[in-house]
């Protein structure tokens, strides 16, 4: 196996798997969003706001308020831990990618040296500058071990190496890059200074988001804070307590995964684009499986699926990545994602609001027809006849034909309970549920036969 292929299938895959564990943990973190708001509690309190009735209020709601408060604190602590952990995972992955690229990819080795020297030459410490430049001339292959000497500048080198520098025409990449910087600097604040915003936080963020539309535009930066779930500090005010919750984590998760696919695909180029495409297909399937299996609230699931579709759609259609999306398994999982998100094109409150507007529903119908056409076009691209048959029957909701087509495709080692389409169909089809149980029993019988045959031998 080629070193680059090994990196994709081992290091990159391991990073994605660990990041998915964080998403899974956040979905499990709180299975309910039924927390009484401050306004709701105060309205209850006003009903009992007399000297004689205050005790009645606390008898009715006191225990619940205490428990909800404890649960909320526990959830916030867990989310803060996940916030730190996913950034640490990404940092380790980036270090692994940079080391691999420096040692094994000549073009990126040259980019590293050039970027390193440019940064060193701007250093105001003349003694350190001369020392590092001399070391670079004497032993250029050891430059990678001198990164700690240019503290805080490593990501600038990574941006030059892995396609994150010239992104003026890539809005989503700018958003993801900026949110990573925001998350990183908030982590530094929470670990080293306090849990409240300060001027150093905002100046550090502005410094890190160079090359994006947010660098010199506080209005756009405020909007980005809101979009990524940092509502409390969206006005860029100091001395505001930082809230980390499911919304901030899920946006940071997708932004980091998105950046990792861009960096990996640009590091290894078109030669390994199929390998990166296969990892994207696995990521789509794993993310959908985690969300469908979770007991998380509908609000959380409604956030995960549309975001997964938006980020993957941008990766697949981007001209700035080297991802081959023509693999049958990637195409199949992408079709399933399109089908699952078809009904979430618009929120239900928008439907109710426009109930008397015929033009609104005409536009909505057009959007859904466009999604149907996209699914049909994607199915045509699947080359494997058996896989195509499975997807066609899944999209048509023909359960009997779906079972027949799966039986034609699968072998003794196929684990169908890890397929998103099976998990999805089990929610609505008793026939598919029975099939899944039958397949599990069949596997157990086969395992016993194999074991007994070994014992006899």
Per residue in 411-434, pLDDT (tens digit) is 766 777 888 999 999 888 999 999
Q: What is the pTM of this model?
A: 0.85
Answer whether residue 138 shows pLDDT above 80: no
Q: How many CA atoms lie within 13 A of 155 on its CB side?
A: 16
Give the C-alpha separation, 419 to 429, whole Å. Answer: 15
Confidence (pLDDT) at 369: 87
Give the C-alpha separation, 290 to 257, whole Å. Answer: 16
Closest to 331 measured CA to CA, from 376, 301, 372, 300: 376
Give the mean model confidence (pLDDT) for residues 56-69. 52
Per residue in 83-124, pLDDT (tens digit) is 999 999 999 999 999 999 999 999 999 999 888 888 888 777
Indicate the Cα dihedral angle 405, 410, 415, 417, nearest 10°.
0
Per residue in 354-412, pLDDT (tens digit) is 777 778 778 878 888 888 999 999 999 999 999 999 999 999 999 999 999 999 988 76
Give the C-alpha separation, 108 to 140, whole Å. Answer: 14
Which of residues 240 and 448 earns the better pLDDT score? 240
* Residues facing residue 196 across a β-bridge: 241
Give the C-alpha separation, 342 to 345, whole Å. Answer: 6
Cβ burial 281-296 (10 Å sphere, 16+ → b, else e): bbbbbbbbbbbbebeb
User: What's the token pair of residue 104?
Assistant: 């094994």
Answer whether residue 75 shows pLDDT above 70: no
Which of residues 225 and 299 earns the better pLDDT score? 225
What band does 35 get if pLDDT is binned at 50, 70 and 90?
A: very low
CA distance between the termini of the chain: 35
**Domain parsing of the chain, residue ranges:** 3-43+77-246
């Amino acid at each position: 196996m080629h070193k680059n292929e090994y990196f994709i299938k081992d290091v990159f895959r391991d990073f994605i798997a660990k990041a998915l564990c964080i998403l899974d943990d956040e979905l499990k973190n709180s299975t309910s969003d039924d927390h009484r708001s401050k306004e709701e509690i105060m309205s209850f309190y006003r009903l009992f706001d007399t000297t004689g009735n205050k005790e009645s209020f606390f008898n009715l709601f006191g225990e619940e308020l205490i428990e909800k408060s404890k649960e909320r604190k526990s959830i916030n602590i867990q989310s803060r831990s996940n916030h730190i952990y996913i950034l640490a995972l990404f940092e380790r992955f980036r270090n692994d990618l940079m080391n691999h690229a420096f040692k094994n990819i000549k073009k990126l080795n040259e980019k590293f040296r050039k970027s390193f020297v440019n940064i060193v030459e701007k250093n105001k410490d003349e003694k350190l500058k001369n020392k590092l430049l001399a070391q670079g001339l004497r032993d250029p292959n050891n430059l990678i071990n001198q990164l700690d000497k240019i503290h805080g500048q490593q990501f600038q080198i990574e941006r030059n190496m892995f396609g994150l520098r010239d992104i003026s025409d890539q809005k989503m990449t700018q958003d993801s890059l900026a949110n990573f910087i925001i998350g990183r600097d908030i982590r530094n604040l929470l670990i080293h200074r306090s849990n409240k915003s300060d001027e150093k936080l905002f100046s550090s963020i502005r410094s890190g988001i160079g090359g994006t539309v947010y660098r010199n535009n506080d209005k756009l930066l405020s909007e980005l804070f809101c979009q990524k779930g940092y509502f409390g500090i969206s006005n860029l005010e100091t001395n505001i307590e930082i809230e980390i919750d499911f919304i901030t984590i899920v946006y940071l998760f997708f932004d980091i995964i998105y950046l990792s696919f861009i960096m990996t695909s640009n590091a290894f180029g078109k030669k390994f684009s199929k390998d990166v495409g296969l990892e994207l297909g696995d990521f789509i399937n794993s993310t959908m499986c985690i969300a469908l299996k979770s007991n998380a609230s509908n609000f959380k699931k409604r956030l995960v699926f549309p975001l997964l579709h938006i980020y993957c759609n941008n990766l697949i259609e981007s001209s700035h990545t080297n991802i081959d999306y023509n693999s049958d398994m990637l195409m199949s999982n992408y079709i399933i994602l399109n089908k699952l998100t078809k009904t979430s094109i618009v929120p239900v409150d928008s439907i109710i609001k426009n109930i008397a507007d015929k033009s609104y529903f005409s536009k909505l119908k057009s959007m859904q027809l466009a999604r149907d056409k996209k699914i049909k076009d994607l199915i045509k691209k699947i080359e494997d006849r058996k896989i195509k048959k499975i997807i066609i029957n899944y999209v048509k909701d023909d359960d009997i034909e779906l079972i027949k087509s799966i039986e034609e495709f699968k072998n003794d080692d196929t684990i169908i309970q890890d397929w998103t389409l099976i998990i999805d169909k089990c929610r609505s089809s008793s026939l598919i549920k029975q099939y899944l149980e039958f397949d599990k029993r069949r596997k157990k019988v086969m395992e016993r036969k194999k074991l007994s045959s070994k014992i006899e031998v």
